[in-house]
Structure 1
Amino acid sequence: MSDSGSAPVHPNARTPEDVFRDFRGRRAGIVKALTTDVEKFYKQCDPEKENLCLYGLPNETWEVTLPAEEVPPELPEPALGINFARDGMTEKDWLSLVAVHSDAWLLAVAFYFGARFGFDKEARRRLFMMTSGVPTVFEVVTGSGKKQSKNPNGNSKNKSDPKPSKKPNSNSKPAKQPPQKHEEPISKEDKGVEEQAYLCGSCGERYANGEFWICCDVCETWFHGDCVRITPAKAEHIKQYKCPGCSNKRSRE
């Protein structure tokens, strides 16, 4: 087997932020395999081949290959034999199944690094908050992610606007529940981690001034134009934009 993510992208990583960058890169690769690269991914998962696994790599690419031969492997292994189930169910259900197992694998790898680098309770909590702040692969593939708040007037969003009409700010956040009596006050650090919830649905990066973003009219998730290959000029001619996950979902129903 090739090195399929058997070595971390940050060999000297020591912080939750380092591990989260590794998580985000692997997640982006898997999302590509199950959305924009789905035809290529489907063909590589031939049931006539041996047990195959889907690996997300830290450089935002993906690979379908055999699992590691060594026991135990250097990193947790993804679900084995995803190719065997390909022709035994609808393509939509198969992709959803692979997505669920991929989410479990991504978390396993992240917290393996957490243990390896000796994260304490606070560092593990920060890592959990960051990994929970981006949509799961399953949510992206099925379009079942939580919808962002709509504009108060109910109008659709302007796709040609160079930035989201509802940028990640205090006005667009869901209402917070009052803390329970047993909970500790939210620290400044926790508030910073909460901001991770307002990220691109594909790559997980935050919005930056001047970037072109586009919002899916189905799941209402925001994406960098570059991540979904939509330019401002192309957006001008799109009456209703569907992200890769929602497009795949509807084309297979």
Structure 2
Amino acid sequence: MEGIRSPATNRTPEQVFTDFKGRRAGLIKALTTDVQKFYQMCDPEKDNLCLYGLPNEAWEVSLPVEEVPPELPEPTLGINFARNGMEQQAWLYLVAVHSDSWLLSVAFYFGARFGFNKNDRRMLFQMINDLPTVLETVAEYATNLNDQAEIRNRSSKSKSSGKNSRPSELPPKGMKMAAAAAPKVDEENIEEEGDEQGATCGACGDDNATDEFWICCDICEIWFHGKCVKITPAKAAFINQYKCPSCSTKKARLQD
């Protein structure tokens, strides 16, 4: 196996991982801090475009190379065509998923090219697996932005009302993108509000985790902490209709 390695181009798992981290950083920039620039460059009127992460932590949107076979695995073609056919956040998540797949294919292409043995491949994968995926990072970034907006909104309301309270209205039903911070019923109106459902998690009954991700069941309209029902913002982005564990179990019993 060692004979496959070329002395002139030999790389270690650490060097391939450094290349992986640089490309990953570039892709994350495109999908977070540089998202508006990236969005504008993905014009659906143009030909098939690809998002490339570069080893120097930069990124570019470009046509695929004409060389066949290419020097490196190619990213997904035509990411620009889907841009206007779905919500922006869902589109970004979709590009992030394909970016993760491309990063792995490039890393293990290098592993094969440089003749990595079983231990080298295991080491490379372990280093990669210790990092969050591009999708996870993009979803967390979106969540933080929404949390910050919610905090600013609560702060503005507190100043205008002269007291520090959380909004009493729930986010819109079905709002599953990385966003919905938990509401809390105004303490002064607890006795007047007969229905407190939605102010507390339907799984754990807690209502204090205001900065965590929440999700609403489209069947029973009960709100849950994402962590209580094992739903992350990234997973929620691909759910058209969410059914909580209780409603899913009821449906299964009826079918039986």
Give TM-score, length-normalised by structure 2.
Answer: 0.52
Matching residue of 1:39: 36
Matching residue of 2:57: 60
Letter in 1 for 2:86: M
Segments of structure 2 that go 5 or more residues without pairing to the other structure are: 1-7, 142-210, 214-232, 238-256
Task: Spell out structure 1 runs of 4+ moving beyond 2 A.
Answer: none
Q: Which whole-Å CA distance do the structure 2 matches of 1:56 and 1:127 have between them?
A: 19
Q: Which whole-Å CA distance do the structure 2 matches of 1:70 and 1:94 have between them?
A: 28
CA RMSD of aligned residues (A): 2.1
Is 1:138 paired with 2:145?
no
Q: Larger Rg: 1 or 2?
A: 2
Matching residue of 1:106: 103
Give TM-score, length-normalised by structure 1.
Answer: 0.53
Report if the CA contact (8 A) 1:26-1:59 is conserved. Answer: yes
Segments of structure 1 that go 5 or more residues without pairing to the other structure are: 1-10, 145-216, 220-245
Percent of aligned pairs sharing the same letter: 69
Letter in 2 for 1:42: Y
Larger RCO of the pair (alpha carbons < 8 Å, separation 6+): 1
Deviations 1:72-128 (A, max 9, x none): 100000000000000000001100000000000000000000000000000000000
Q: Which whole-Å CA distance do the structure 1 matches of 2:137 and 2:80 have between them?
A: 21
Q: Which whole-Å CA distance do the structure 2 matches of 1:218 and 1:68 have between them?
A: 43
Q: Which whole-Å CA distance do the structure 2 matches of 1:112 and 1:45 have between them?
A: 27
Letter in 2 for 1:105: W
Helix, strand or coil: the match of 2:68? Answer: coil
Report if the CA contact (8 A) 2:44-2:80 is conserved. Answer: yes
Helix, strand or coil: the match of 2:51? Answer: strand
Is 1:23 paired with 2:15?
no
How far did residue 12 of structure 1 move? 3.6
* Structure 1 segment 109-188 matched on structure 2, within 5 A: 109-143=106-140
Is 1:94 paired with 2:91?
yes
